[in-house]
Amino acid sequence: MGKWQKMTKEELETQYSPSRWSPRLDKDAVIQAHVQMLTGGTRDAQAATQTLLNVPYGMDEGEKLDVYLPTVHTETFPLVLYIHGGYWQFLSKDVSGFAALPLVSHGIALAAVGYNVAPKGRLEEMVRQVRHSIAFAVQQYTGISGIYLLGHSAGAHLAAMVLSTDWAKFGVVPNIKGAFLVSGIYDLEPLLHTPENDALHMSREVAEQNSPLRRVSKLEGRRACQILIGIAQYDSPEFRRQSQEYFEALRAAGWSASLLDIGDTDHFDIIEKLSQENYLLTQVILNMISI
């Protein structure tokens, strides 16, 4: 048993409130600034990139992709699927193109995945939607040379769930070459005891079945796929513990996984800075994709 079980309700709530740990700004200001950075970054990326916005990947209104295409046309290119964060309740694909510019200028496409956040969407539905979006992308775009997942916070959780997909149900086996999981949550159980679950309505069973940490043995495709787990210096100790544990579990199961602890970042700017080409994580991603 980890030590979160011994925490008071208040302590657990604090540990699982990323906004309370930023040394830059107070909790409301950091979220406001985050939304501003994502919105502005996405606007800039859309102004400078060839895009395909609101491409439906399913029947539901929320099942859409925003695709940012490589600057120079090539027959084949890697595709990064970006899965946004926001505790499965906030944000959307509409503010999730901010990382596109450094990628498209290096011949890499980015697709921001829309999914139904709570209270409209339930957790199992979000997992299914994100999996479906990947199956759709590989069927739709024949020029994809490899798929890379990039997820932040709740989006890193969803990306990790994609790695344990039984693709037989989807009729395709995507060539997932890498996953960049940034400041993610890999064990949902502690959240059952926090107010975050008021909107998510997860049962214990749903939390267990959708915890990547408990599904490491079900992962497929380990030979080809590299996993990078990124964590912010100023993420909470619980968030940092979760990344460390997931990393260790992946390594123990024979995966090619690495853990990158990014100094002088918090839960929010660790991902915002992906709009900058000279940011450490941008460089690591470009190197891992290295075309």
Q: Which residues are catalytic?
A: 153, 235, 267
Q: Would strands 176-182 and 144-152 be described as parallel, antiparallel, or unpaired? A: parallel
Q: Are the beta carbons of 181 and 229 closer than 8 angstroms?
A: yes
Q: Count how many residues are written for the chain.
A: 291
b/e code 96-121 from CB counts within 10 Å (16+ = b): bbbbbbbbbebbbbbbbbbbbbbeeb
Nearer to ligand KYN, 129 or 153 (CB): 153
Least distance from ligand KYN to the Cβ atom of residue 243, Å: 15
Residue 186 CB neighbours (<10 A)? 25
Least distance from ligand KYN to the Cβ atom of residue 264, Å: 19
Rounded CA-CA distance 274/201 in Å is 32
Closest to 17 (Cα-Cα) out of 233, 205, 190? 190
Q: E strands within 30-91? A: 51-56, 64-68, 77-83
Closest residue to ligand KYN, judged by C-beta, is: 19
Least distance from ligand KYN to the Cβ atom of residue 83, Å: 13
Nearer to ligand KYN, 80 or 91 (CB): 91
Nearer to ligand KYN, 18 or 70 (CB): 18
Nearer to ligand KYN, 18 or 102 (CB): 18
Q: Residues in the site for ligand KYN, rule: CB under 6 A?
A: 17-19, 31, 34, 85-87, 90-91, 153
User: 3-class SS at 204?
Assistant: helix
Least distance from ligand KYN to the Cβ atom of residue 76, Å: 34
